[in-house]
Amino acid sequence: MKALVTGGGGFLGRYIAEQLLQRGYEVTVLARGQYPGLQGLGMTLLRGDVTCADDVDTAVQGKDVVFHVAAMVGYWGRYQDFFNTNVNGTRNIIRSCQRHGVKKLVYTSSPSVTMNNIDIHNGNEDLTYPEHYHSHYSATKAIAEQAVLAAHDPEGLHTTAIRPHLVVGPRDNHLLPRLLEKANSGKLKQIGPGRNKVSVTYVENAAHAHILAAESANTGGKAYFINEPEPVVLWPWLRQILSRLDAKPPRMKVPFGVAFMAGWVLEKLYSWCNIKQEPLVTRFIASELYRNHYFSIARAQQDFDYQPLFSFEQAEEKTLAYIKSTQSPA
């Protein structure tokens, strides 16, 4: 089987590519940067951008399955930039898959496509898309996910969307490292009383879910939440992580209403002044750090027998060991 992984040089994408190799797939990675380590593992690396239809067409040709992981992520930026990568790039992928007779397209989505400053307790795939979003990332991922699922054809291209939540693990340079940096600089503030529960996903488990979904005949036209079976209470968990990494815990608690309004003001100010740097807080970040948002994986368990490769305890140990190995000696 020949597989393409877009964004295969990134955090989750590389784990998917590596697991595909272990399962005997012939793997090609489409990435914007140079990743000599990937070729050393036995993959084919194509340099290109999902926003370029010709790059995508060249990469997709001859493949049996495509994992579309590449995306513009983040909490701040121009809407058009998010739209161009996340929506137009995905449309390029869909068209090329249809043109070249690809059997399966697995799209890396996000649970944030269902979130808009509301509490979600044990949410499932019956959750609907909100009318409005507080981040360009969520809004554009929702448009792209709907395009992928609408492209499902029982007689042709089978499409699936995977929604991993708060992905952590070795080689992560986004989630926990950024929180660690903010904590040590004194910029991390607890939003609200700190009792909110959230789902977390270990990266190797997320990659495993993508591949199982691709290999199943039951996933066509469906989206799936993927995370660890049990949520964590966010702020006690973060404090425990920071303590084990000898980092500074947040010392200030900010009421949610204050943080949310500050996010709104900063978003307006940064937009008016055309400031490209990410604000200290946005409405989306305030909501993420205050609201309950945890999800059921029952549909994934039912449709493609998903079970995590690693327990949460194992995942936490592997993640912390990696972060410690990258820290400079005091």
Share above pLDDT 90 across residues of the chain, in percent, rounded to a whole number? 87
Contact (Cβ atoms closer than 8 angstroms) between residue 13 and residue 29 = yes
| Sequence ranges of the domains in the chain | 2-167+200-229+294-310
How far is Cα 66 from Cα 82, in angstroms, rounded to an integer? 21
pLDDT band (50, 70, 90) for residue 326: confident
**Catalytic residue list contains 137:** yes
Tell me the average pLDDT across 131-155.
97
Mean pLDDT of 110-125: 97
Q: Which residue has the higher pLDDT, 122 or 325?
A: 122
Instruction: State the DSSP string of 263-276.
Output: HHHHHHHHHHTT--
Q: CA gyration radius for the chain? A: 19
Alpha-carbon torsion (164, 166, 172, 175), positive or negative:
positive
- Give, for 298, the enclosing helix (H) or strand (E): helix 298-304
Q: Are 138 and 131 in contact (CB under 8 A)?
A: no
The tokens of 155 are what? 């007689």
CA 148 to chain CA centroid, nearest Å: 16
Indicate the Cα dihedral angle 121, 311, 109, 264, nearest 10°.
Answer: 50
Q: Work out the mean pLDDT of the chain and round it to a whole number.
A: 95
Burial degree of 230 (CB within 10 A; 0-12, 13-18, 19+): exposed
| pLDDT value, residue 329 | 58
pLDDT value at residue 255: 97
> Which is catalytic among the residues 133, 137, 290, 306?
137
pLDDT higher than 70, residue 304: yes
Q: How far apart are CA 254 and CA 261, in angstroms?
A: 11
Domain covering 2-167+200-229+294-310, topology: Rossmann fold (3.40.50)
Judged on CB neighbours under 10 Å (0-12, 13-18, 19+), 217 is exposed
pLDDT at 198: 98
Residue 302 has pLDDT above 80, yes or no: yes
User: 4: helix, coil or strand?
Assistant: strand
Residue 330's pLDDT is 52
pLDDT at 124 over 70: yes
What residue type is 177 in one-letter code?
P
> What pLDDT is recorded for position 276?
87
Q: Mean pLDDT across the stretch 45-65?
A: 97
Q: Which tens digit of pLDDT belongs to each residue from 257-292?
A: 999 999 999 999 999 998 988 898 999 999 999 999
- In tens, the pLDDT along 195-221 reads 999 999 999 999 999 999 999 999 999
